[in-house]
Amino acid sequence: MLAGNRIAVVLPAYNAAKTLRRTYDEIPKDIVDDIILTDDASGDDTVTVARRLGIFTLRHDENRGYGANQKTCYAAALARGADIVVMLHPDYQYSPTLVTAMASMIASGHYDVVLGSRILGGGALKGGMPLYKYVFNRMLTAAQNLLVGQKLSEYHTGYRAWSRKVLERLPLLNCSDDFVFDNQMLTQAIHCGFTIGEVSCPTRYFAEASSINFSRSVTYGLGVLGTAVIYRGAKLGLVRPALFADSGRERLLPSIARVA
């Protein structure tokens, strides 16, 4: 609990058995009330490890994709009463100890969304981010800032905190089930006028840390640019994209999170 807010950490997992315990051990239990893991049909012992650690665990019967995994995570967090939800990859690439800082920024009332940035403080390259990914990140971020009118240091971090009102408001069912989900969700938050803060976050790149290959990175990059262009077109009144349509039916319902 933090300033009267119930804090949940959600872990969208896929083949994270080797890194899950290290991630879990560094989550600040003094302020975190709930830890939820959704396993996207891993081929390893992720579910077994999670349940041994006492983590509330959901499992997809088939691989649905990174975005679908997060939808289940967020729906479960809402159903279990979270006021602030921190999404943390269980591959130990990001520092779990920053959960307190990120949740505190939302609990303060100053921000609705907080991003753990690998770029602020120069931690990306120091942590081993491949040079081509760093350059790719900087180019995409510059283009996105121009198109959506923000000044974020990066849009591509896998470490994010959300207030409950954001998760209840965004039409997340309109987002992709693939990797571009992260970017679409953040763009929806910008479109809705939510306030976004950032904290500097060191990162680690090592063999067990999850990473998409070059071809999928290109596909992701094209999806990111497409999302930014659609956003600009919507703001100019040129298009009415499904991504930003919201009749209430596109919002998350706790019932989509089912225990395996």
Does residue 259 surpass a pLDDT of 80? no
Q: What is the pLDDT of residue 57?
A: 97
Q: Looking at the domain assignment, is residue 257 inside a domain?
A: no
Confidence (pLDDT) at 260: 40
pTM for the full predicted model? 0.94
CATH number of the domain to which 44 belongs: 3.90.550.10
The span from the CA of 1 to the CA of 81, in Å, is 12
Number of structural domains, the chain?
Answer: 1
Residue 4: φ, ψ to 5°? 80, 5
Residue 258 domain flag: no
Overall average pLDDT of the 235-255 stretch? 88
User: Residue 144 domain-assigned?
Assistant: yes
Residue 93 lies in a domain: yes
pLDDT attached to residue 126:
80
91-115 pLDDT tens trace: 999 999 999 999 999 999 999 999 9
* Helices (H), ranges, the chain: 20-25, 46-52, 66-79, 99-107, 123-126, 131-148, 164-169, 181-191, 214-235
- CA-to-CA distance for 186 and 196, rounded, in angstroms? 9
Would 86 be classed as within a structural domain?
Answer: yes
Q: Could you tell me if residue 100 is inside a domain?
A: yes
Name residue 101's amino acid: A
Which residue reads 């803060």 in tokens? Answer: 197
pLDDT for 258 beyond 70: no
Domain housing 147:
7-250
- Contact at 8 Å (CB) between 78 and 172? no
Spatial neighbors of 29 by CB under 8 A, at least 6 apart, are none
Closest CA to 162 of 227, 117, 94, 102: 102
Q: pLDDT tens digits for 171-228? A: 999 999 999 999 999 999 999 999 999 999 988 887 666 667 778 888 999 999 999 9
Classify residue 179: in a domain, yes or no: yes
Task: Find, among 171, 3, 5, 180, the residue nearest to 86 by Cα.
Answer: 5
| Residue 74 covered by a domain | yes
Residue pLDDT, tens place only, 114-159: 999 999 987 788 888 888 889 999 999 999 999 999 999 999 999 9
State both tokens at 154. 């990066």
